[in-house]
Structure 1
Amino acid sequence: MKRILVTIMVLAFAFVTAACGNGKEASGGSGEVKTVKVGVSSGDTRTWEYIVEIAKKKNLNIELVTFNDYIQPNLALSEGEIDANSFQTVAYFDEFVKDQNLKLEAIGATVIAPMGLYSKKHKSLKSLPDGATIAVPNEATNFGRALLLLQEAGLITLKDEFNGSGSLEIIKDNPKKLKIKPVAAGNTPRLLDDADASAINNNFAVEAGLTLKDALFHESKTAKPYINIIAVKKGDADRPELQKLVDLYQSKEVEAFIKKTFKGNTIPAYVTVDELLNYQDAWTKPATEK
């Protein structure tokens, strides 16, 4: 009888051990599987969907939470409903966090969707005549972004007090006497038939069938205020699973995916967090000084 009991106990132990072993394999071979919720825009999520798949091999389960506006993702992050978000430029982030008094911080850079200067009438910046008409978005932030683009292109210089918000009064030097015409952002592609050139946000350019290869000039990752970020609650930056999230986004594998998928309309911009913190330097330094 004792032998039978011993045999049963041995078999039971072996079964439990095997079951535990199978569970370990299912979780990726070793280590605990962590889950993070990441808030993203409901638009194009192809990059994050790709990251979700490769994260599984790293014992990281990413749950994407989509939002239809640019307000809720930061509020949800502040309330702890998500662990991180990735949808906004660092300049927008700083302004929103300040206005809403939120305790959030950037932990990594992702991409820039460059604004470009396009023209149907001219083939290069050099061919833009004196007095050329340049259409730009009229909303303050994008107006400022367009002016910074023109400065980076070497066409104008902005005053030292430029803070990212656009106005004609903030232009310090305009040697070609360009006529800058603010219009609704969605109309900037339509102005290509009338204006000499038009500064067009990436999303409107794509809708109009334009690519960065068509642009006379476009932003690069030196346009730091408009680099997108991964944000978290203050105090969470050192969580290993969130650092892994940044490492995955900034990996060679994801960089190659972005370049292949978006064909230059979205550019990986993996600058350091310290560089992000100094993005305001870009507002008053022409490209030749960077």
Structure 2
Amino acid sequence: MRLKFALLLASTLSLVQPLATHAADKIVIAATPVPHAEILEFVKPQLAKQGVDLQVKVFTDYVQPAAQVNEKRLDGNFFLHQPYLDEFKKAHKNDIEVPVAKVHVEPFAAYSTKYKKIADLPIGATVAIPNDPSNSGRALLLLERQGLLKLKDSRNTSATKKDIVSNPKELKIRELEAATLPRVLNQVDLALINTNYALEAKLNPVKDSLFIEDGHSPYANLLVAREDNKDSPAIKKLSAALTSPEVKKFIEEKYKGAIVPAF
């Protein structure tokens, strides 16, 4: 009887072993709702066929998705660009995030509910920009390219208001949390809004903006992993899926120029 039980137990364990191996391929990736979580949900069925259980954890801010990867509470994130990651690493000396793949560019754009063209902006206009260092610098560089102000160094992606050397329209620059910018759009003269938040607010960067970054933007959104898992099979499969022809077609058809593939 004991021998039969031992054989039965061994047989049962051999059957469940593949399930345990499959469970080890679960990965949890942080993302903002649009377009990052949408793109991840698109590749989810494809990854499931490859034995990867992709779990998408949605955040509406830019701090927690990076912080929780750094704390090893998540396997990776998909929302930031290299200048943001560089600034985050400066502020968090023990940061363990590493870029894995460039996926898409979200052309940064300026919006107004009061004016239809830049020339109409009045003297002393209030301009709202994101308050995180990399995106505030990005906004100021875009304002400079439109001739609205002049910076000390036109190549400095971390420029701040202190770097403004000429402001002919006497613009009042307000730095606000990036996620709040669509909500204050009707309270300011101009707002420079990250495309993911613009899309959530039903703003089309191509059709609704006064001006927009061109296709040479260095701000490609990245799939980011931890140093200790960047080479894991699951992360490699996710990276391959996010840079596949299917995802390129999905981005082009769904976002119609508001999002541009970076691969």
Q: TM-score, length-normalised on structure 2?
A: 0.70
Instruction: Report the counterpart of residue 255 of structure 1 in structure 2.
Output: 248
1:181 to 164, 169, 172: 172
Q: Flag the 1:54–1:99 CA change in 2: closer, same or farther, 3 A.
A: same
- Deviation per CA, 1:125-182: give whole Å up to 9, x if none: 5x55795836232625343232111234455442128452420x312455xx233222
For residue 79 of structure 1, report the CA deviation from its aligned partner.
Answer: 4.5
Instruction: Report the counterpart of residue 210 of structure 1 in structure 2.
Output: 203
Instruction: Report the counterpart of residue 35 of structure 1 in structure 2.
Output: 25
Is this contact kept in 2: 1:112–1:266, CA < 8 A? yes
Q: TM-score, length-normalised on structure 1?
A: 0.64
Is this contact kept in 2: 1:42–1:68, CA < 8 A? yes
- Deviation per CA, 1:110-136: give whole Å up to 9, x if none: 23333312345334x5x5579583623
Instruction: Report the counterpart of residue 133 of structure 1 in structure 2.
Output: 125
Is this contact kept in 1: 2:130–2:139, CA < 8 A? no
Instruction: Report the counterpart of residue 110 of structure 1 in structure 2.
Output: 103
Identity of paired residues, percent?
28
Instruction: Report the counterpart of residue 238 of structure 1 in structure 2.
Output: 231
Letter in 2 for 1:48: L
Q: Flag the 1:122–1:79 CA change in 2: closer, same or farther, 3 A.
A: closer
Verify: 1:219 aligned to 2:209, yes or no.
Answer: no
Q: Distance in 2 between matches of 1:78 and 1:130?
A: 44
Letter in 1 for 2:172: K
Verify: 1:190 aligned to 2:180, yes or no.
Answer: no
Q: Distance in 2 between matches of 1:76 and 1:204?
A: 21
Q: Which runs of no fewer than 5 residues in structure 2 stay unpaired?
A: 1-10
Q: Which runs of no fewer than 5 residues in structure 1 stay unpaired?
A: 1-15, 25-31, 271-290
Q: Distance in 1 between matches of 2:73 and 2:202?
A: 37
How many matched pairs? Answer: 236
For residue 80 of structure 1, report the CA deviation from its aligned partner.
Answer: 4.0
Verify: 1:148 aligned to 2:148, yes or no.
Answer: no
Alignment of 1:13-92 (within 5 A): 35-41=25-31, 43-44=33-34, 45-67=37-59, 69-92=61-84
Q: Distance in 2 between matches of 1:64 and 1:56?
A: 13
Letter in 1 for 2:33: G
SS of equivalent to 1:223: coil
2:164 to 161, 171, 177: 171
Q: Distance in 1 between matches of 2:129 and 2:73?
A: 34
Q: Distance in 2 between matches of 1:73 and 1:246?
A: 18
Q: Distance in 1 between matches of 2:49 and 2:99?
A: 25
Q: Flag the 1:55–1:166 CA change in 2: closer, same or farther, 3 A.
A: same
Q: Distance in 2 between matches of 1:51 and 1:190?
A: 36
Is this contact kept in 2: 1:38–1:86, CA < 8 A? no
For residue 253 of structure 1, report the CA deviation from its aligned partner.
Answer: 0.8
Letter in 1 for 2:259: T
Verify: 1:199 aligned to 2:189, yes or no.
Answer: no
Is this contact kept in 1: 2:101–2:239, CA < 8 A? yes
Q: Distance in 2 between matches of 1:205 and 1:259?
A: 17
Cα-Cα RMSD:
3.7
Question: Which is greater in Rg?
Answer: 1
For residue 106 of structure 1, report the CA deviation from its aligned partner.
Answer: 0.9
Is this contact kept in 1: 2:27–2:234, CA < 8 A? no
Q: Flag the 1:135–1:42 CA change in 2: closer, same or farther, 3 A.
A: closer
Is this contact kept in 2: 1:106–1:230, CA < 8 A? yes
SS of equivalent to 2:80: coil
Q: Distance in 1 between matches of 2:66 and 2:115?
A: 42
